[in-house]
Amino acid sequence: MRIDLPASIAPSIAPLRGFIHRAHRVHPMISTCQTSTTARIVMPMTKAFAIGSSRFNFQAAKQRSRLLKAMRSWFDSHGYLEVDTPLLSPDLIPEPTIHTFATTFSHEFLGSREFYLVPSPEVFMKKLLAAGSGSIYQFSHCFRNNEQIGSHHNPEFTMLEYYTLDADEQDSMALTEELLAATAPKNCPDHLLPPFRKMSMAAACHAYAGIDLEKNQDVRDLRRAALRLGLSLPEEPESWEDTFNRIFLTFVEPSLPQDKPLVLDKYPIQIECLAAEDETGPWRKRWEMYAGGVELANCYDEMRDAQKIRAYYRKEYAKLSTERSQNGAVIPDADLSFADIFTKDFPRCSGVAMGMDRLLMLQTGITSLKGVILFPFPAMLGDG
């Protein structure tokens, strides 16, 4: 980076000289020089911005542009409204497993307030649904802090979120099949194309881990089942969800068929979220879609019961606050009045969140998100 200053303020760089002299020892490229007309401070470019243009995958950028256009066209022709909601929010849904990027709004007269980068646009979009927006969709940048950075994770990522009125999660499944079929690139690998394979979570756990979820509703039973499978569990008690996830991640997820996109539905009721409960058993009306072994989309038949949403907020906020008070992580504000939007007029709807970077990665046959994000996080950290 080079900063040229007009001669009129050139003397003002004099106080910087001591600092620059010290910095020069650390980084010999930092220097200053002064002429009669200009003063110049030259600093080394950071690694992130020193990237040569050859590092950018413009082919993937073109694919992204094509995919966004195709999806917008599909949604527009199906009567959805594209919305654009804030990335900075004064409050978030309490989700103990999702860490937050926090920043501060500061104003000379209005004081200051903590704001958060959204981990998803869900709160804002549901407020629009409550206000009568009709079916809506959005491509939103989302932020999740403290997540590891790897081939399938980037702390900032692009999410497609769409809500369909008068639909449940099964309708969303059919719509998502239609969306992916209509917007796939010409040479899209067959394993990413519909029809989807469908399997309930109970069937998957039975097939790949030999566990009957209905008979293991109690955490102690599930723990015994996990130990029988040879898993190492911590000595202190843990939640049903954590033990379930150990089983799922060790035995089920790696075994899921990959010849077609796979939808796992009827999620265990113990996994708290804002999906409606299923009347047929201890499940929630939620599905997750896997493609090429990668988790690609998450869908709920949206919970509309204000009392249950309030209870969820209280319970999860208490859990989040307790956990984060211990480790000093950001505790984002939660707005309990969010539940008030779920009146009898709140429309029945189903929402899907899909990871656009991951979809693009799979469609292009690239093995890492680094290949489809122009400025991936590792490069900005200076090690990618």
Partner 1 sequence: MIKAGQIEKGTALLIKGQPFVCIEREFVNPGKGSAFVRLKLKSPSTGQTLSETMKTQDNAEDIVVRDNDCQYLFNDGENFHFMLTETYEQIEVPMASFPDYQYIMKDGDTYRCTFWEEQILDIQIPSKVVFTVAEAEEAVKGDTVQGATKYVTTETGLKVRVPIFIKLGEKIRVNTETKEYLERVNN
- Are 72 and 82 contacting, i.e. CB atoms less than 8 angstroms apart? yes
Pick the binder of partner 1 from 80, 116, 208, 248 (CB under 8 A): 248
3-state secondary structure of 140: strand
- Are 323 and 196 contacting, i.e. CB atoms less than 8 angstroms apart? no
If one asks whether residue 368 binds partner 1 (CB under 8 A), the answer comes out as no
Residue 195: cis peptide before it, omega within 30 degrees of 0: yes
User: Which helix H or strand E contains 49, and what residues bound it?
Assistant: none
| Beta-sheet strand order (sheet of 38-42) | 2-6, 38-42, 31-34
- Are 365 and 60 contacting, i.e. CB atoms less than 8 angstroms apart? no
Binding mask 56-95 for partner 1 (x = CB under 8 A): ---------------------------------------x
Determine the residue type at 378.
P
* Residue ranges in 255-274 that form contacts with partner 1 under rule CB under 8 A: 267, 271, 273
- Are 35 and 29 contacting, i.e. CB atoms less than 8 angstroms apart? no
Pick the binder of partner 1 from 250, 258, 270, 368 (CB under 8 A): 250
If one asks whether residue 98 binds partner 1 (CB under 8 A), the answer comes out as yes
Give backbone dihedrals phi and psi of 320, rounded to 5 degrees, phi first: -60, -45
- Are 278 and 169 contacting, i.e. CB atoms less than 8 angstroms apart? no
Pick the binder of partner 1 from 7, 174, 249, 318 (CB under 8 A): 249
Gap between the Cα atoms of 38 and 335, Å rounded: 53
Binding mask 323-362 for partner 1 (x = CB under 8 A): ----------------------------------------
Q: Which is nearer to partner 1, 130 or 231 (CB)?
A: 231
Gap between the Cα atoms of 243 and 187, Å rounded: 40
CB of 347 to partner 1, least distance (A): 24
If one asks whether residue 298 binds partner 1 (CB under 8 A), the answer comes out as yes
Rg (the chain; Cα; Å): 25
Pick the binder of partner 1 from 168, 171, 241, 277 (CB under 8 A): 241
Q: Which is nearer to partner 1, 135 or 355 (CB)?
A: 355
CB of 139 to partner 1, least distance (A): 19
Pick the binder of partner 1 from 114, 147, 168, 171 (CB under 8 A): 147
> Cβ contacts of residue 172 below 8 Å, gap of 6+?
164, 287, 299, 301, 350, 351, 352
CB of 290 to partner 1, least distance (A): 10
CB of 176 to partner 1, least distance (A): 16
Binding mask 277-296 for partner 1 (x = CB under 8 A): -----------x------x-
CB of 234 to partner 1, least distance (A): 6
- Are 330 and 292 contacting, i.e. CB atoms less than 8 angstroms apart? no
Stretch that binds partner 1, among 73-81, 180-188, 235-243, 303-311 (CB under 8 A): 235-243
HSE-up of 214 (CA within 13 Å, CB side)? 7
If one asks whether residue 153 binds partner 1 (CB under 8 A), the answer comes out as yes
Q: Which residues bind partner 1 (CB under 8 A)?
A: 95, 97-98, 146-148, 150, 153, 231-232, 234, 238, 241-242, 245-246, 248-250, 253-254, 267, 271, 273, 288, 295, 298
